Amino acid sequence: MGQKADHEFCEVALALLRTHDIKNRVAAVLRETLDQLYDGQRTGHYKYDQLRPTEKTHCGSLVEINMQREFQFAGSENLDYKIAGVEVDCKYSMTVGGWMIPPEARGKLCLLLWANDADSKWSMGLVRASSEVLRKGRNRDQKVGIKSGMMSSVLWLFRESELPPNVLLNIPDEDVAHIMSGRSGAERVRRLFRKVQVRRIGRAVVATVAQQADYMKRIRGNGGARSDLRDEGIIILGQYEAHRDIARQLGLKEIPEKGESVSVRIVPAENSSEPGSAMIDGSWWRVAKQDDPEAPAPLLPRIGAN
């Protein structure tokens, strides 16, 4: 069993690490799962503490299901998946060390996942749930945790990697209150992009703020925040490569990824040699300083219905 177990462990670990773009894909699954739980578009919720106990209990199951959908792992009769032909159970916890192992997974391989939305971090590890690793006591479901002194048995494939951000958790409560007190979805979205600049803002955050079915329309030009904030000198850059290139030219530290937007106030630059200057709509622009007067922003490159 020992040699077989070691062989299975290595095969599963290698299969996972060789999976195309696995780091970004797991991060996206965890981000989407948390947003699915919050259901901000309908509830206005954006953090775990706002969920009811019954909602929290679904988190592990949703992670397991969404990982299966993303990676198309083979099915298993006894556990969640088969990876490299080996049975693997998927366990998620909001706290490191909080994974609870069911009776059927004892002695088997467990894929451990953890995420901290407030810190925008996540981890994924692999462990064999042997008797040496597991605690003696069991809960009423006969599940058992991992001994605190045996966490070194976990092989961390990714540890404290970046989770796509939930900016509503990373700004002051008074700013969230100001944003959410807007009388309409359009006004709340304007407040969001005015208040939270040079930060990546995902679709789920926009949906939570807008609380409308057509929430992405509240960002776009032709009546959305992108056109409404132009007079204040604020541009909203999206996931499009032309927009990402502008963000890089402006020297922004956060570049919008898929499904994300970044707002920033800009002013005319003196010339192309000025550091952090970008050519937009035929002239040069730079990130505004606090004491720079407002100047109407240029039009961004038109891409589809952006």
- Same structural domain, 182 and 265: yes
Residue 151 domain-assigned?
Answer: yes
- Same structural domain, 26 and 132: yes
Q: State both tokens at 7.
A: 């062989």
Q: What is the pLDDT of residues 218-265, one digit of tens each?
A: 887 677 899 999 999 999 999 999 999 999 999 999 999 999 999 999
Q: State both tokens at 293.
A: 């007067």
Question: Rounded CA gap, 47 and 212, in Å?
Answer: 19
- Same structural domain, 215 and 262: yes
- Same structural domain, 215 and 89: no
Residue 174 domain-assigned?
Answer: yes
Q: What is the pLDDT of residue 3?
A: 44
Q: What is the pLDDT of residues 177-230, one digit of tens each?
A: 999 999 999 999 999 999 999 999 999 999 999 998 888 888 876 778 999 999
Residue 298 domain-assigned?
Answer: no
- Same structural domain, 196 and 124: no
Q: What is the pLDDT of residue 214?
A: 83
CATH number of the structural domain spanning residue 212: 1.10.10.10
Pick the closest to residue 32 from 8, 2, 65 (CA basis).
65
- Same structural domain, 104 and 183: no
Domain final residue, candidates 112, 133, 162: 162
Q: What is the pLDDT of residue 305?
A: 46
CATH number of the structural domain spanning residue 94: 3.40.600.10
Residue 176 has pLDDT above 50, yes or no: yes
User: What is the pLDDT of the chain when averaged over all its residues?
Assistant: 92
Residue 152 domain-assigned?
Answer: yes
Q: How far is CA 294 from CA 36, 191, 232, 243, 284, in A?
A: 38, 17, 6, 21, 15
Question: Rounded CA gap, 111 and 158, in Å?
Answer: 12
- For the chain, what is the domain count? 2
Q: How far is CA 71 from CA 25, 26, 82, 168, in A?
A: 9, 9, 11, 29
- Same structural domain, 9 and 63: yes
- Same structural domain, 116 and 218: no
Domain final residue, candidates 162, 188, 221: 162
Residue 293 domain-assigned?
Answer: no
User: Which positions ≥6 away from 162 have C-beta within 8 Å?
Assistant: 27, 120, 121, 122
Residue 259 domain-assigned?
Answer: yes
Q: What is the pLDDT of residues 2-40, one digit of tens each?
A: 445 589 999 999 999 999 999 999 999 999 999 999 999
Instruction: Report long-range pairs for 220-225 (Cβ below 8 Å, ≥24 apart).
Output: 220/305, 220/306, 221/299, 221/300, 221/306, 224/186, 224/189, 225/186, 225/189, 225/190, 225/192, 225/193
Q: How far is CA 123 from CA 93, 141, 240, in A?
A: 10, 26, 29
Question: Rounded CA gap, 150 and 269, in Å?
Answer: 58
Question: Rounded CA gap, 7 and 176, in Å?
Answer: 50
Pick the closest to residue 64 from 8, 112, 104, 135 (CA basis).
112
- Same structural domain, 187 and 212: yes
- Same structural domain, 79 and 203: no
Exposure string (b/e) for 57-74, b if CB count within 10 Å is 16 or more? eebbebbbbbbbeebebe
Question: Rounded CA gap, 148 and 153, in Å?
Answer: 10
Q: What is the pLDDT of residue 215?
A: 83
Q: How far is CA 119 from CA 23, 56, 115, 203, in A?
A: 17, 19, 9, 19
Residue 96 domain-assigned?
Answer: yes
Question: Rounded CA gap, 161 and 269, in Å?
Answer: 36
| Structural domain containing residue 65 | 2-162
Q: What is the pLDDT of residue 5?
A: 55
Amino acid at site 191: R
Residue 296 domain-assigned?
Answer: no
Domain final residue, candidates 126, 147, 162: 162
Q: What is the pLDDT of residue 273?
A: 79
Q: What is the pLDDT of residues 265-279, one digit of tens each?
A: 999 998 777 889 999
- Same structural domain, 125 and 238: no
- Same structural domain, 203 and 151: no
Is-contact 287 264, C-beta < 8 A? Answer: yes
